[in-house]
A and B are shown apart, each in its own frame.
Chain A
Amino acid sequence: MKDVLLQALAGAPDWTELRWHRRSQVRVTVEKGEVRQAKVDTYQGVGARVLAGGAWGFSSTSTVDPAAIGRAITEAAAIARFLSSARQEKARLPQLAPARAEHLAAPADPVTAHSLEEKLELVLRTERETRAMSPAVSSATATYSEYVDEKWIVNSSGVCVHELDHKPEFGVWAVASKDDQKSFGARFVGVDGGWSDLLAKARPAEISGYAARLAVDKLSAPYPDGGVFPVVMDPEIVGLLCHEAIGHTVEADFVLSGSIAAGKVGQKVAGDLVTLCDSGASELKPLAAGSMAFDDEGTPARRAVLIENGVLRGYLHNLETAARFGVEPTGNARAWEYDNEPLIRMRNTYLEPGGGKVEELIAGIKDGYYLKGSGGGQADANAEFMFSAGETYRIRDGKVAGLCRDATLSGQAFEVLKSVDALGDDFEWAMGSGHCGKGQPAKVDGGGPSIRCRVTVAGKQE
């Protein structure tokens, strides 16, 4: 494949990037004892991106032979030339030493060494055991899925990168019912790693018990009270806050269109305790699901410090925005599949831990909440967010007082980070399942320690 790409590149008159990507996907879903999804999918092709006259053109082909790749280059070049008159701000590239590397180390015990039968058996057993946990569990859904990716990325600057990547995930969703009431509990885990890595982080018996118990307990739980409260957030919600509410506002493309973080480098934007980073490496703990050695422009996916001790230090860049801001690219250009053009995306986004124990963080709250796990959420370019917690506990007089129905948290993320007054030592990667969406999906991770801060909890008005 390398030779085919390099040969096609050699004939290209403009700056050209070729990215061959082959993805093999396996997905098995069992719902209430029935196999709902059992699939294998292969998706491969070459994306050609050309920079000509300061504008980008992109074309792709699923036929991987020299003639088809050549046609894709010609098409992308024609589009770029054609666009160059329309584009006001001309794109440039930074001067860099091109990466030439192979990153092919498969994880120990790779998922590819395990049979489909074994994956199906895991899912069937986990779903069955989740329902068996309690007669109140009326339904459960368990899913295993994996992406095995291989890429070659070459460009006219001399980049030549070969990368292999394994990202499996696994989890279960339980629904409990009582009369007309229904509630759910879920636990999903995703890693960049192998089969035993995944199962060590997502022990089937543990995740079954967790999801079932949570669903059942929530049935009889009261709604939380509304208001602004001191809270302790666990690593999963901290990861979501870092990714969704802060991370997107510091993506350089978002910054250029006027996100709240624009023009604030060097300014105090969060509390002194806050150091927030995004990295292609699995920092501090292994298996973070957004890991990669190189991004999809072939740039090393290095660690980017975004906020250091409360001061905004920089943004997330691709080649073009790095040149525009006059900084080093951070390796954040990512494309979902061969037919997607690279966009600025996060990788593993996290808050640096401190030294406190979770119990100490909780002990410092007279009346508040302990929020664990994420039920998803959204955020805007002005860093206003709305998340729901997967598990919400009342804290009274420094002690966990009881489970509530899921709380919805909202606020402005930088304001929340200004209110952080304690950091735990319990760092975890906790957002490895599912995808981040920005026109294209991406596998990311997020995490941090438990933190204590203030946030608005939505409640009911009487």
Chain B
Amino acid sequence: MPDLKAICHQAAESARRSGAGQAEAYAHETVSRSVKIEKNDIHLASSATSCGLGVRVFVEKALGFASTNSLDSAEAARAAGAAVTVARCTMPDEANELPEKAALPAVPGLHEEALAATTMAETLDLARTMLAAARDFDRRVTIDGGSVDVVTRRRAVVNTRGVAAEEISSHIIYLLMGMAKDGDDVSSFQFEFDVHRERARVDVAGLGRRLAGKVVATLGAGKGESFRGPVILSPDAAAEVLASPILFSADANMVQKGMSPFAGKLGQEVADARITVVDDGLLPGGVASSAFDREGVPHRPLTIVKDGTLQSYMYDTRTARRGGTRSTGHAVGGARSVPAIGPTNLTFAPGNVGKDEIIAGVDRGILVTRLSGGPDPVSGDLSGVVKGGFLIRKGEIAQPLTGTVIQANSYELLKKVTAVSRETETIYSFRMPYVRVEDVSVTSG
């Protein structure tokens, strides 16, 4: 097993000797076992060990970056030299700075030996069980694709200002994509996936049945009605319609570039008082949890929106310096690119009404479980085809919908939230409730 920290130290030191004022090296080694499902059958299995080294340097405050997928020392030195060569072509930027060393929090539960030790035979068994559960649920279910991946990753980041962090984590991700076919009636295409860090929580059969139930429920879909009114967004749809524009707008880089509609709105109301949004890189069990970000800055919980009021943007070291504040630990990315800004585990706080109660309160509206298309994050303009949607009449699910388009503005919808469910669902690194919003254009035809 390569000593990632030692390789990073060597690369950063090599860059410094070549003329870098500051240098950072990020390295990973990722071991994965994967079984793929295609057209209702096991298709292929693979195993891989991949690695990468990315060197970021500032030469007189000018940025350079080079990466390689080899961890041998000659390659590390070559990448360090290449990064310095790139930096000599770019211009200085006062905000270009690497973080200083900081104490890292302990994050339990990132790596479980029982999960990491899952063999190829066990991975294959999980894939077969998942596929069988979906197919046995209803003979009309057809699975286009799917996979089970068990991944263990070691990563390290070292810089010339004293940062030297290393971590091991593992997870399993399993997913199915498919549809239901009944004669000429083809349901919409749906997918389901789960991610876990603990072996005991893996329930592939449950996922298979969930996907099957979802696609069968959208068979027999018909045209709905055209109106302007309430829409209930499932956790999946709420992530797309409400969470994604918040993440775009809370990105400090977008704020500083004048692209974010949240620029200049700290302390102001950006959503209904029912909305509280927290990003927490230390969330127990969270798939995006880890002690430090891509630059080695410690993770900590960050409240972005509290009771509808904008509290903070997400910063990396560079945007924090420009904004006169501290990094919030939101640098993201891998070995092959300059870090960007992004969320970790994002949670919309649950409300105090049940999902069924929310549905019961709608006289005429739709429930959207999946949306194809999302908002333009700059303007917030949203148009999407409802995939897996249901017409609600007099408080009850009346029929599945096809050929229905919704249109609204996501930033306006955030202020038109009238109910948030008690129940939440985890969608990869997001935890989202059901959310009722008003005044949506629904076109069916």
**Which residues of A come within 8 Å of B, CB atoms?**
27, 31-32, 34-45, 55-63, 75-76, 79-80, 82-83, 86-89, 115-117, 120, 138-139, 141, 175, 177, 180-184, 226-228, 253-254, 256-258, 260, 339, 341, 375, 377-382, 384-386, 388, 405-406, 408, 410, 439, 456, 458-462
Contacts and interface: CB of A to CB of B under 8 A. Distances in A.
B89 interface: yes
B261 interface: yes
Contact of A388 (B91, B128, B383): B383
B405 A38 contact: no
Contacts of B40: 257
Among B46, B62, B442, find the residue whose CB has the most chain A CB atoms closer than 10 A.
B46
11 contacts: A34-B93, A76-B46, A88-B42, A116-B89, A175-B257, A226-B407, A257-B142, A384-B372, A405-B381, A456-B443, A461-B228
Contacts of A88: 41-42
Nearest to B188: A380
A62 B71 CA distance: 10
A343 to B, nearest CB: 9
B259 A175 contact: yes
B387 interface: yes
Given A31-B257, A182-B261, A82 B376 contact: no
Interface stretch (B158-166, B178-186, B292-300, B427-435): B178-186
Given A38-B87, A82-B121, A254 B65 contact: no
B15 interface: no
Given A62-B50, A341-B46, A461 B189 contact: no
Interface string B359-384: 00000000000001100101101011
A339 B91 contact: no
Contact of A382 (B85, B189, B257, B336): B189
Contacts of A258: 142, 144, 179, 181, 186
A458 B91 contact: no
Contacts of A339: 48, 50
Contact of A120 (B48, B66, B89, B403): B89
A433 B174 CA distance: 31
Interface string B40-69: 111111111111000000000011111111
A139 B385 contact: no
A58 B372 contact: no
A39 B65 contact: yes
Nearest to A56: B44
B118 interface: no
B259 A139 contact: yes
B288 interface: no
Contact of B89 (A117, A227, A410): A117
Task: Kindly list the 7 A-B residue pairs having the minimum CB-CB distance in the complex, ordered from nearest.
Answer: A408-B383, A58-B46, A257-B144, A39-B65, A257-B39, A138-B258, A256-B39
Among A60, A62, A180, find the residue whose CB has the most chain B CB atoms closer than 10 A.
A62
B226 interface: yes
Given A226-B443, A381-B179, 12 more contacts: A36-B338, A38-B64, A62-B50, A83-B124, A88-B41, A175-B257, A182-B261, A258-B179, A341-B46, A386-B405, A458-B383, A460-B441
A61 B93 CA distance: 39
Nearest to A34: B93
Contacts of A38: 63-65, 86-87, 89-90, 338
Interface of B: 35, 38-51, 62-70, 82, 85-87, 89-91, 93, 120-121, 124, 128, 142-145, 178-179, 181, 186, 188-189, 226-228, 253, 257-259, 261, 336-338, 372-373, 376, 378-379, 381, 383-385, 387, 402-403, 405, 407, 441-443, 445
A290 to B, nearest CB: 22
A303 B176 CA distance: 32
A338 to B, nearest CB: 9
A377 B372 CA distance: 8
A86 B42 contact: yes
A55 B36 CA distance: 12
Contacts of B86: 38-40, 116
Nearest to B261: A182
A60 B31 CA distance: 11
B258 A32 contact: yes
Contact of B441 (A40, A406, A459): A459
Contacts of A460: 228, 407, 441
Nearest to B258: A138
B385 A410 contact: yes
Given A258-B142, A339-B50, A139 B257 contact: yes
Contact of B338 (A39, A58, A406): A39
Contact of B372 (A35, A82, A378): A378
Contact of A139 (B41, B42, B66, B258): B258
B200 to A, nearest CB: 24
Contact of A341 (B44, B64, B143, B372): B44
Given A182-B379, A257-B178, A42 B68 contact: yes
Nearest to A63: B70
A408 B67 CA distance: 39
A355 B143 CA distance: 43
A357 to B, nearest CB: 31
A381 B215 CA distance: 13
Among B64, B128, B338, B443, find the residue whose CB has the most chain A CB atoms closer than 10 A.
B443
A382 B188 contact: yes
A182 B379 CA distance: 5
Contact of B226 (A180, A385, A461): A461
B69 to A, nearest CB: 5
B237 to A, nearest CB: 14
Contacts of A120: 89-90
Contacts of B338: 36-39
Nearest to B121: A82
Given A184-B376, A382-B189, A459 B381 contact: no
Nearest to A439: B145
Contacts of B144: 254, 257-258, 381
B445 A410 contact: no
Contacts of A260: 186
A168 B121 CA distance: 42
Among B40, B45, B145, find the residue whose CB has the most chain A CB atoms closer than 10 A.
B45
B405 A458 contact: yes
A11 B128 CA distance: 32
Contacts of A226: 405, 407, 441, 443
